[in-house]
Structure formats: structure tokens, C-alpha cells
């Protein structure tokens, strides 16, 4: 050892911490890498020398060559074997190294109590077994850089905040504690059948929730949570003044997303569950405004016919609901085409317009008429004819469900007495005999009272006019025999 090296190390009178750590490491392990150690991560000779009390001399290590003082960049001389030598105070310390606890006599002691002091030195993960850090959120204790310390790669990460929830880690348990950040503290109350007023300047207004799980999104104005007492049946909350938005919340959850029951602009409806408590988030229009709301419960009919809402929850709103017919500008709907058979409109919305609608069958504009033969008839009248010389004017006979679109031949009888007669009729062509009674609108198939493909008996009433129409389906043309027997 040179005299220069000796004098340089005697100036401070103290052994630097960095050198102490290096010497301790050499005593314990020989040569090894820094970083997290696992079981069996040792290199070199791990045998502790007999003289464990002398930690300052290089001669105590397994390497007999003098160590180099790398901490003092100004002195390149080697350290002497004299344990009384001290290092220059200018020696720097690696601040990444955590100070080793004073008690290093047994690094493998299985201490299960909470380590509230400096971290313990370690060589393997087993050296840190049972240790618990003061902040359990920082991660479990592991052997990192030869010290028992929290493993940052396993630190507790709590879920991010939601609309109404925030989660933070509890250092004493290492668990995430979740709290509700949406306040449901009520300031005011609404009651069924009561008009309630307040000022937007009254205490209790809070910042609006950022979003709701039902109804329209808030506009950003401040809002007030009010209790809804005694709600039952179908309920309407009507913001009459100074209100921009309304949302009903389940007070048990009071979460604007999962607890939203109904939402609307200045009015809303919802069905209240018996005995359940609700609160209403009222978004107020602005400062210095009078606010007014009306609550109506147990609604059973469409009370307002122009608000765009289904008041009674029957699936129909406003004028579409029969409750509103004839009220508040709602017309009474037309259910029949009768009397409107020439306006080219399907008035009763049944898919048939004017004369195509059965409702117009009796309308004179749509009435089918039949042409009567000019020859007169009488008792014992007999004639063999064909319908080919008739007129195709009558189709829909009230007594025959099958449309008769062929040409018809019509005979007229005016009863000179009351009594029964027989109309003899025969046809092999598929024609049928139809009995029509005059009702004051002439010969029309709408007044058909009987139909037969053979003989037909009639109980005449004196003075009544009857029509006997021979007609058939499609374009049927054929011969038939016709006779009147007044003494059947």
C-alpha cells in the first residue's frame, strides 16, 4: 500500500456506507447480480468467514486480493488490509440501494409480523416469507435488489370511476373500496295531486348527473333531487315552469344509469310499484327562476290529448285514443262509409272506397238495379226463355253469397190478392231464381229475400210488387222454363 493511498483514506475518520455494503455483500455471497432473487439464485462461495465481526477489511472475503475503491473516483489506490483505515468522505453512495436493517444476524428468520421498520436484507424469496408491508396496495413483499420490499408489478389496481362510483385501494387491507359519488339527498318533495313550487335559488341544487339510463340526456344545468311521496298507479310528473328535464329514479339504487325508471323533457309518465319510494331529478332552467311541478297519480284515461304521451298506458296516445275523440281538436273517427259513397275516399279506413265498400250498398249512387221485361205476367203464365237476351246489371244479391255476374232476366208480379202461389222453375244451365221485394227503391238485388234452383213458393201480400230474377254466375247462358201457378 502506498503512503498516498493511506493518507487519503485516513482523512475522514469514518468508513463510507457504500464500502460497508460492498464488504457485507462480499462476506455473504461473493459475486452476484443485482435485481429480484429467487430461491437458489446465489453465485460463488456463500460460506460466512469465521471472523464475522470484522466487516471493514478486504482480507475477510474469499478473494485475497485487495478490493478497488470504486466509490472514490479521485483515488485509484487499493485499500489496505488495515481495518482501522477509513474512506474519504467524498465517496459517493448509490442511492438506489435501500439501507439494510441493523439486525442481519439471521436473514432467514420467518418473521410473520408486520414489518413497520426498514426492509430486511435478502438473498432469496424465502428470506421475505411472511413479511407484510405497511401499504398492502403497493404489492406483496418480494426480494428485490437484496431487500424485502413491495413488488410494484403486483400493486393493486382498482377499477376506473363510473358515472356514480369511485374505487380506491385501502392500504390496511389491500382491497378496493367502492363508494357512490351520486348524491340522493333530497331537497323538497312532490306529492300526488299537489302543485309544488320553489325557487332555483333555494339551497340543495347540485351539479347534474352526466347521463341517465333512460329518457333524454341532461342539458348540463344544475338539478335538484326531490322526493316523490305516495306515488301509486299510473303517475304523471308535469314540469309546468322553470324545468328543462325530469328523470324518476329508484331511490334504493339512486344511480342515474341503473336506477333510472322514466325520463322525459318537461313531462313524463311511469307506473309506480305499490309501497316503493322514488325520487325525481329535476333539471332547473337557471338561476333566479320560479320552478313549478304538478304530480298526478292513478291515471286511467287519456287526460291530455295533445302532449304526445300515452297517459293511460293503453298503447294509444292523444287523438289515437278513443278517450280523446271529440276533445281538444281530436275528431270523432268515421266507422262507416255510409253517406260518403262518392267522395273517392276510404272514410272508414277498411280498404274499400265508396261503392266498393259494402256500407255503400244501399246508397242510390252505388245501388245495383235490374231491368224488368216489358211483358206482363199473370196466373198460369208460362214461358220458356234464355237469359242470353237479358242485361248484366245485378250482381250482389242479398239472398245469395255467390256473385251473379251473368245476364239476368227479370219478371214483375204485383199481387192482386193475398195468398200462396208457386213459381215453377227449371234450368239445366246452372241458373237460379231470385225473389226480390219492392221497398221503394225499385228493382235491386239488395232487396232479395229468397233464392231457389227449382220451384219457389211465395206468400203474396195484396198490393205488394215482387221481382223474379233469373241469373247465374260468371258468364252463364242457358235456357230455362218459368211458370206462375196461383192455385198450388
Helix, strand, coil % in the chain, rounded to nearest 5: 10, 30, 60
Q: Which domains does the chain have, with CATH numbers?
A: 189-296 (2.60.120), 334-363 (no CATH), 382-485 (2.60.120.680)
**pLDDT given at position 108:** 38
Q: Which three cell numbers stand for residue 136?
A: 398492502
Length of the chain: 488
Q: Are strands 409-414 and 419-427 parallel, antiparallel or unpaired?
A: unpaired
Q: What is the pLDDT, as a whole number, of residue 183?
A: 65
Query: Under DSSP, is residue 410 helix (H, G, I), strand (E, B) or coil?
Result: strand
Flag residues of the chain having pLDDT under 50.
1-118
Summarised one tens digit per residue, pLDDT across range 384-412 is 999 999 999 999 999 999 999 999 999 99
Q: Are strands 479-485 and 419-427 parallel, antiparallel or unpaired?
A: antiparallel
Q: Select from 147, 12, 16, 175 the least CA-distant residue to 94.
A: 16
Angle at 378 between CA 485 and CA 486, to 5 degrees: 25
Per the rule left: phi > 0, alpha: psi between -120 and 50, beta: everything else, 431 is: beta
Q: Residue 354 in contact with residue 343, Cβ under 8 Å? A: yes
Cα distances (Å, whole numbers) of residue 394 to 399, 403, 453, 480: 13, 9, 17, 18
Buried b (16+ CB within 10 A) or exposed e, 326-348: ebeebeeeeeebbebbeeeebbb
Cell numbers given for 316: 294509444
Amino acid at each position: 500500500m502506498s503512503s498516498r493511498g493511506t493518507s487519503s483514506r485516513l482523512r475522514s475518520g469514518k468508513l463510507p456506507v457504500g464500502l460497508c455494503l460492498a464488504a457485507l455483500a462480499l462476506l455473504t455471497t461473493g459475486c452476484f447480480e443485482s435485481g429480484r432473487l429467487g430461491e437458489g439464485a446465489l453465485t460463488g462461495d456463500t460460506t460466512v468467514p469465521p471472523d464475522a465481526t470484522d466487516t471493514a477489511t478486504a482480507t475477510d472475503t474469499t478473494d485475497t486480493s485487495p478490493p478497488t475503491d470504486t466509490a472514490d473516483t479521485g483515488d485509484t489506490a487499493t485499500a489496505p488490509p488495515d481495518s482501522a483505515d477509513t474512506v474519504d468522505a467524498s465517496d459517493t453512495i448509490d442511492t438506489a440501494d435501500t439501507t439494510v436493517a441493523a439486525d442481519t444476524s439471521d436473514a432467514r428468520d420467518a418473521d410473520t409480523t408486520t414489518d413497520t421498520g426498514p426492509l430486511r436484507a435478502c438473498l432469496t424469496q424465502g428470506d421475505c416469507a411472511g413479511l407484510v408491508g405497511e401499504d398492502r396496495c403497493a404489492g406483496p413483499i418480494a426480494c428485490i435488489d437484496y431487500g424485502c420490499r413491495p413488488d410494484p408489478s403486483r400493486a393493486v389496481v382498482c377499477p376506473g370511476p363510473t358515472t356514480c362510483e369511485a374505487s380506491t385501494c385501502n392500504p390496511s387491507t389491500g382491497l378496493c373500496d367502492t363508494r357512490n359519488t351520486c348524491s340522493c339527498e333530497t331537497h323538497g318533495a312532490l306529492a300526488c295531486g299537489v302543485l309544488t313550487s320553489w325557487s332555483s335559488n333555494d339551497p340543495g341544487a347540485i351539479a347534474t348527473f352526466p347521463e341517465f339510463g333512460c329518457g333524454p340526456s341532461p342539458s348540463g344545468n344544475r338539478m335538484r333531487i326531490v322526493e316523490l311521496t305516495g306515488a301509486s298507479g299510473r303517475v304523471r310528473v308535469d314540469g309546468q315552469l322553470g324545468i328543462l328535464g325530469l328523470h324518476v329514479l329508484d331511490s334504493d339504487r339512486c344511480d342515474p344509469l341503473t336506477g333510472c325508471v322514466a325520463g322525459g323533457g318537461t313531462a313524463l309518465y311511469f307506473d309506480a310499484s305499490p309501497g316503493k319510494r322514488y325520487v325525481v331529478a329535476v333539471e332547473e332552467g337557471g338561476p333566479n327562476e320560479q320552478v313549478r311541478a304538478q304530480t298526478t297519480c292513478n291515471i286511467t284515461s287519456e287526460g291530455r290529448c295533445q302532449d304526445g304521451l300515452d297517459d293511460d298506458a293503453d298503447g294509444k296516445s292523444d287523438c289515437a285514443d278513443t278517450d280523446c275523440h271529440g276533445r281538444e281538436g281530436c275528431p270523432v273517427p268515421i266507422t262507416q262509409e255510409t253517406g260518403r259513397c262518392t267522395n273517392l275516399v276510404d272514410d272508414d279506413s277498411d280498404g274499400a272506397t265508396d261503392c266498393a265498400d259494402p256500407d255503400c250498398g244501399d246508397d242510390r249512387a252505388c245501388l245495383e238495379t235490374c231491368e224488368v221485361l216489358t211483358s206482363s205476367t199473370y196466373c198460369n203464365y208460362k214461358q220458356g226463355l234464355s237469359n242470353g237476351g237479358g242485361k248484366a246489371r245485378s250482381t250482389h244479391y242479398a239472398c245469395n253469397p255467390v256473385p251473379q255476374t251473368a245476364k239476368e232476366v227479370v219478371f214483375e208480379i204485383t199481387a192482386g190478392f193475398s195468398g200462396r202461389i208457386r213459381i215453377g222453375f227449371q234450368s239445366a244451365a246452372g241458373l237460379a231464381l231470385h225473389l226480390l221485394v219492392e221497398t221503394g227503391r225499385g228493382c235491386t238485388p239488395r232487396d232479395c229475400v229468397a233464392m231457389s234452383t227449382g220451384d219457389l213458393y211465395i206468400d203474396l201480400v195484396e198490393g205488394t210488387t215482387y221481382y223474379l230474377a233469373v241469373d247465374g254466375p260468371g258468364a252463364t247462358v242457358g235456357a230455362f222454363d218459368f211458370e206462375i201457378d196461383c192455385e198450388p
